[in-house]
Chains A and B, each alone.
Chain A
Amino acid sequence: MTAKPKTIWDRLEDIPREILYGLLLVCIIVPMLFPIGFPVPISAEVKRWYDTIEALPAGSVVMVDFGYSGGGEPELAPFAVATYAQLFKKADIKVVTMSTASEGPLLWEKAMTELNIARFGKEYGKDYIHIGYIAGTETAMAAVGKSISATTTTDYKGTPLSKYSIMQGVDSAEDFALLIEYTTGGDQSEGWVRQWYTSYKTPYLCCVLAMMVPTMLPYQKAGQIVSVVSGAQAGQIELLVKAPGRGVKSADVITVTHLFCIALVVVGNIAYFGKKFSGGKS
């Protein structure tokens, strides 16, 4: 029995994945080799993020949770670096960082290297500090919210916190003017709402992977989070802070790859409906 000849709709409906993946790689590499410089419009959520930090009064202490894993670094690190740049450009803002993810301390060091912290004239232990990875997610958040000194007595390298002036007068969630979170885990992003916002009403900025944003929107709508953004919006915060980096670089690639995806949706549906209306079965 001879096989039915493939129609144009069959061919359109069944493009080999190797070709699809190859085209995807072309859509990523070509804009990197030949940058176009597409504009990056600023969204309302990123503007709100930026304005919240700009409005911090001098002397404020900010808690940052570096709670993402290596998998989220390409997306979240550029946003984190730009935000640290904004915090460090402001006079007399102290930043206490902790990690609820085990890779957090190492990824924080990576981010600080990318930030090139020396250009801000900030001193570790006086203007910023990392108090280490604390296991337990919400247990850690609750413990630190109650009392940092009762939870840990050292920084992430094991040096006693008593040696650092930044921790003087800073012990519980009530001492912080703002909480910022970078995470790839829903447990962490939602946990801070439960353990810090609900108990202490600490203003909370949340930066997650783009795919996690929809699950965090109800908290933003209820006023529990000031602004929920995705790391993919890093280009926007980099432009606002005037510190262009990986985020701005990705704009061309994101535009071209998304256009490619829309084209795939169109082709797939043309093939589907073409086959359906010409009497074939999908």
Chain B
Amino acid sequence: MKKSVPIALVFITAVIFLLEYFVLPIELKSTVTMLQNWGIILTAFTLGFGAVNMFVFHGKQVSRRAKGQWPYSLWLLIILVLFTLVGVIMGATSTQYSWLYNSSYFALSATVYSSLGFYMTSGIYRALRAKNAESALLLIVGVIVLARNAPALAAQFPILVNMDSWLSSVPTTSAQRGIMIGAALGAIALGLRTMIGRETGFLGQTTEGEKGG
């Protein structure tokens, strides 16, 4: 029952959505609308998991006074609580929360994303080598597109634009389409398997009785 009820719920919910889309759009419209709104609210509840996991993990680091780590963990928890208090009490779009966001999270997020550019530079230099035919092809296409992406080079050598256009519309799009079709088949198979209970990853931890298989 601990397994079969959730699996049955997945099946019934998914079937309702499929029936509404393909067979009974008017009869099931209000049910699907309600379920979609419930889905939004339940997803909102899941946004708290990160905070809970942070408290569990970093709380242990602080209580155990983990060497070299606990001051950082304590600071992390302080920031977490500060953001939460300001955001919930003053409002998620308040001037105060906006200030906090712009002075810390936004700058950190933008910088972390961009810092990978440094590692890419190192990667370009050390890894982009024409060691065999396949890597040579990757390198040649990469260099052509790098040159085209430089605005001055594209303006000076219009042939780069034509080459880039062909590379993007023929080999790139076709290979990506092949990957997309394969991934779509996989997603459909995974969805169907989950509906019939053959994929149970979403159930999470197993009980003692379930561990036997």
So, do A and B actually touch in the complex, CB under 8 Å?
yes
Which residues of chain B are near A39, meaning CB under 8 Å? 151-152, 155
Q: Which residues of A contact B (CB under 8 A)?
A: 15, 17, 20-21, 24, 36, 38-41, 43-44, 69-74, 102-103, 105-107, 109-110, 134-136, 139-140, 142-143, 146-147, 150-151, 156-158, 199, 210, 213-215, 217-218, 220-221, 232, 235, 251-252, 254-255, 258-259, 261-262, 264-265, 267-269, 272-273, 282
User: What CA separation (Å) do A221 and B168 show in the bound complex?
Assistant: 11
- Report, as a range, how many residues of chain B touch the other chain: 35 or more
Nearest-Cβ distance from residue A79 to partner chain B, whole angstroms: 15
Q: Which residues of B contact A (CB under 8 A)?
A: 21, 29, 32-33, 36-37, 39-41, 43-44, 47, 91-93, 98, 101-102, 105-110, 112-114, 117-118, 121-122, 124-126, 128-131, 139, 142-143, 146-147, 149-155, 158, 161, 165, 168-169, 172-173, 176-177, 180
Nearest-Cβ distance from residue A77 to partner chain B, whole angstroms: 10
User: What CA separation (Å) do A6 and B127 show in the bound complex?
Assistant: 20
Query: In terms of DSSP, what is the predominant structure of the interface of chain B?
Result: helix
12 interchain pairs, CB-CB under 8 A: A38-B151, A38-B155, A71-B113, A106-B102, A135-B41, A139-B36, A199-B21, A254-B151, A264-B124, A264-B125, A269-B139, A272-B130
Partner of B150, one of A106, A143, A147, A258: A258
Decide if B147 touches A262 in the complex (CB within 8 Å).
yes
Which residues of chain B are near A147, meaning CB under 8 Å? 33
Which residues of chain B are near A134, meaning CB under 8 Å? 40
User: What CA separation (Å) do A24 and B115 show in the bound complex?
Assistant: 12
Closest to A133 in B: B92
Partner of B176, one of A72, A218, A255, A265: A218
Query: In terms of DSSP, what is the predominant structure of the interface of chain A?
Result: helix
Decide if B176 touches A259 in the complex (CB within 8 Å).
no
Known contacts A74-B110, A105-B93, A109-B93, A143 near B168 by CB under 8 Å: no
Known contacts A73-B110, A262-B146, A268-B128, A21 near B172 by CB under 8 Å: no
Nearest-Cβ distance from residue A270 to partner chain B, whole angstroms: 10
